[in-house]
Structure 1
């Protein structure tokens, strides 16, 4: 009789990785990690999704190519020899890599050389996961290069990149904080909770959230500023802890809208609750743009203005006589249909309207000039005929004088 040993569970050992708990790359992209991740290539993967332990794939919006591949470089890995075994690979749901290469930088015994771990750059790979035991060595850098994917037009999908090294990390290191660690441990995470104020990159936050020497990125979400009463809160730009350089704020009552100041608290730019914009004023008088000051532009266009005064040249247009024009000027002190100086001072003018009226007066003046030109030509013609008649009379008079003189001599 022989005995058979059976186990209810398969364990991860130095030689058999069962799960991902010893993945060195968990959250390799986070700022608090000792690892650094860089990605090059026109096609891009969501780096955050490649190392978070959640197998939700990232898909490129354009395909990588042999000439312009996606290259993900991970540096700063622990300098620990693979010993009995370490494994490297990737996984995806769809659009797996068909052409790719994986390389490792071996630092063991100061070798400091790049070794090719897997090379499918010249032959298609047809599975949605890849895992391979790495050659013996101590790999402090890894390089994943993707040339082609199985997606539309060669697009690529990747869920996770992993480097499983049972002797290099504790289980889930980087993914879950240990029982004795604190999420606010300033020496490791750079996040500090000081009397209810959260500091990122600073141990002395003065506000509910303060980020020092870094940027704040919100992906697919919103930032809400909620105030009290009619003040919904301010966005203030300043130098150091004083010297306000700019301010953006809103009001929910009174002159409600969005306000922008370049320095002090007086608004330089206003967008009211109807979308009207004021520059140097909060009162646009109901217009889409109100400016308190001078405007310079290379070109201004008034589009779609009706009733342009071509009607002045229509046959049925009644052109005022010059006598009528003179009488209106004497009575009103201005041309007909032109606003007075007082009206302009009180109400201003509409450029489209005033230009139309001025053009109408220019066209009427043109008709007067044409009319006077015709009358002048007619007068010149009459004058010419009169001169010709006078010449004829002069010649006849000269003949009569000669005859009279002759008669006088004969007597």
Structure 2
């Protein structure tokens, strides 16, 4: 009896593949689609797609089912019956090398046929973020605005240097311009401002070896706040301007007295 059942099971296993066309069932529980020798519980030789859906899906090689090492997971993006009036997305793995992306994240806007690369990782490790970064030119290539909710270190991760610093750079910063806010020392020109005499300034310098209100070299070894320091420098420039104006007035008075003295001597 057991031999009869075994024979029946064997016959069914042998006959079912031909009954179901390209579907193969093996004794160890493997199912093959378009293959007679499945190597896993479900072995599909070809593309997989879910059709006749509002948002069709597909898992297939882009190059018409060839052995090209490229795999595309698609939701309403390039599926045969994609609904292009709605948006679509896709994730692609590509092992062709060269200038091809290793991983690529695509988005297709509604009423468009072609997708746009939003993120791409190259075989050389370059990562591109944003529209237009399908071929990133640096380790991190970002097109568009960035928002970092935290702190950024370049060349260092020692954030203990300054608890308030959002950006810490260990090295030189090269830029065409730097804009700082709240740089003004116009209070120097107020009538109530007490301008030191040059004698007082000389005395202070002799005692402290630096200008009044300006920090000593020992206080600036770890750096200065640019806006604050620029304000101090501007204050000193405005004070110098007042000193020059005062000296110019005194010089003009001396020249006038000299002219009077010359006229008197000629007589």
TM-score normalised to structure 2 length: 0.51
Q: 2:180 maps to which residue? A: 302
Change (3 A) 1:51 1:35: farther
Larger Rg: 1
3-state DSSP of counterpart to 1:59: coil
| Aligned counterpart for 2:61 among listed residues 31, 37, 45 | 31
- Indicate yes or no: 2:264 matched with 1:389: yes
Alpha-carbon deviation of 1:48?
3.6
| Aligned counterpart for 2:248 among listed residues 363, 370, 373 | 373
Kindly indicate whether the alpha-carbon contact (under 8 Å) linking 1:309 and 1:356 is maintained by their aligned counterparts in 2: yes
Q: 1:350 maps to which residue? A: 225
Alpha-carbon deviation of 1:315?
1.5
3-state DSSP of counterpart to 1:300: coil
Uncovered stretches (5+) of structure 2, i.e. residues with no partner = 1-46, 52-57, 67-74, 88-92, 108-120, 128-138, 140-147
Equivalent residue runs for 1:241-252 within 5 Å: none
Change (3 A) 1:47 1:294: closer
Kindly indicate whether the alpha-carbon contact (under 8 Å) linking 2:150 and 2:166 is maintained by their aligned counterparts in 1: yes
- Indicate yes or no: 2:161 matched with 1:278: no
- Indicate yes or no: 2:199 matched with 1:323: yes
- Indicate yes or no: 2:222 matched with 1:339: no
In structure 2, C-alpha distance between the alignment counterparts of 1:279 and 1:26, rounded to whole Å: 45
- Indicate yes or no: 2:168 matched with 1:290: yes
Equivalent residue runs for 1:187-266 within 5 Å: 212-213=95-96, 215-217=102-104
Aligned CA RMSD, in angstroms, stands at 3.8
TM-score normalised to structure 1 length: 0.34
Task: Give the structure with the higher percent helix.
Answer: 2
In structure 2, C-alpha distance between the alignment counterparts of 1:327 and 1:377, rounded to whole Å: 27
Change (3 A) 1:387 1:49: same
Alpha-carbon deviation of 1:218?
5.2
Alpha-carbon deviation of 1:219?
6.6
3-state DSSP of counterpart to 1:278: strand
**How many residues get paired?**
162
Write out per-residue CA displacement over residues 126-149 of structure 1, whole angstroms, 9 at most, x where no aligned residue. xxxxxxxxxxxxxxxxxxxxxxxx
Kindly indicate whether the alpha-carbon contact (under 8 Å) linking 1:26 and 1:51 is maintained by their aligned counterparts in 2: no
Task: Give the structure with the higher percent strand.
Answer: 1
In structure 1, C-alpha distance between the alignment counterparts of 2:95 and 2:65, rounded to whole Å: 21
Change (3 A) 1:377 1:293: same
Write out per-residue CA displacement over residues 158-200 of structure 1, whole angstroms, 9 at most, x where no aligned residue. xxxxxxxxxxxxxxxxxxxxxxxxxxxxxxxxxxxxxxxxxxx
- Indicate yes or no: 2:237 matched with 1:362: yes
Q: Which has the higher contact order (CA 8 A, sep 6+)?
A: 1
Alpha-carbon deviation of 1:368?
0.5
3-state DSSP of counterpart to 2:168: strand
Kindly indicate whether the alpha-carbon contact (under 8 Å) linking 1:275 and 1:288 is maintained by their aligned counterparts in 2: yes
3-state DSSP of counterpart to 1:290: strand
In structure 1, C-alpha distance between the alignment counterparts of 2:179 and 2:154, rounded to whole Å: 20
Change (3 A) 1:279 1:296: same
Kindly indicate whether the alpha-carbon contact (under 8 Å) linking 2:102 and 2:122 is maintained by their aligned counterparts in 1: no
